[in-house]
Structure formats: structure tokens, C-alpha cells
Amino acid sequence: MPHAVSGAVVKVYRRFFLGGQKWTAYIVGPKSKHLVHEGEHKGGTCSYYDGKIYISSDQSAEQREDYFLHEVLHALIWLCGRGKFFAEDKLEEDFVVAMTPHLHRFLKDLGFEFPKVPS
């Protein structure tokens, strides 16, 4: 079922808990303001303080799963105290980019199934 988030109609992709905080991942249109980070449109973004992840609707299922895991990794790093591990944004991004495909493959090998996007 579509939901309104800051004026944009989006679909809930997944609800989950990280670090005791309730998070919601949304599928949003590719031109959504929620996908803008540092002035650039991205395939996915993470809003740490309100527990939201936004993923562009113009991704294939495999890409959507990658973006979801990518943003979850950012959220986990933030919850663990980002500053303890990464002094620069680029170092964190490089780490997350390197880890995402390996984590994705690992989860699939274990039989994990990602949620389907609601119609």
C-alpha cells in the first residue's frame, strides 16, 4: 500500500529493527528529493535520525537488493559510532561499496530472500 512521506507517494519495501530503532525502507520515484545526497541523485539514501532508507524505483530487483544492503551497512556503521571507524566519508563509502556484493552473495547462498516490491 502506498504511503505519503514528505509529500511524495512511495511504497514500503521493508520494516525492520536496527540497534533497537525501528527502520522503514521505501521505494521512491527516481527523481524523489529523498534520493538527493550532497547535491547528487543517488540510487539509494539513508536518513539516520529518523530511521528511513530510500531506494529508487528504477532499479532491477538485483540492484534494489544491493542498494538496500548498501544503505543498511551505512546505518549499521552509524549505529556503531561511525567516527570510531571512518574519519572521512570517502573511506566509509569505499568500505560499503566493497562489502555490499559480498554480503549480498553470502545472504543469497544462505537462502535469504529479499522482499518483493508491493504492487
| Domain architecture of the chain: domains with CATH | 2-109 (1.10.10)
Predicted local distance difference test score (pLDDT) of residue 110? 95
If DSSP codes are grouped into helix, strand and coil, which group holds residue 63? helix
**Predicted confidence (pLDDT) at residue 6 exceeds the cutoff of 70:** no
The arithmetic mean of pLDDT across residues 81-106, rounded, is: 90
pTM across the whole model? 0.86
In tens, the pLDDT along 16-32 reads 999 899 999 999 998 89
Residue whose C-alpha is closest to residue 68's, from 18, 29, 114: 114
Angle at 74 between CA 70 and CA 79, to 5 degrees: 145
Rg of the Cα atoms in the chain:
14
**Predicted confidence (pLDDT) at residue 113 exceeds the cutoff of 90:** no
Share of the chain above pLDDT 70, in %: 91
**Predicted confidence (pLDDT) at residue 119 exceeds the cutoff of 70:** no
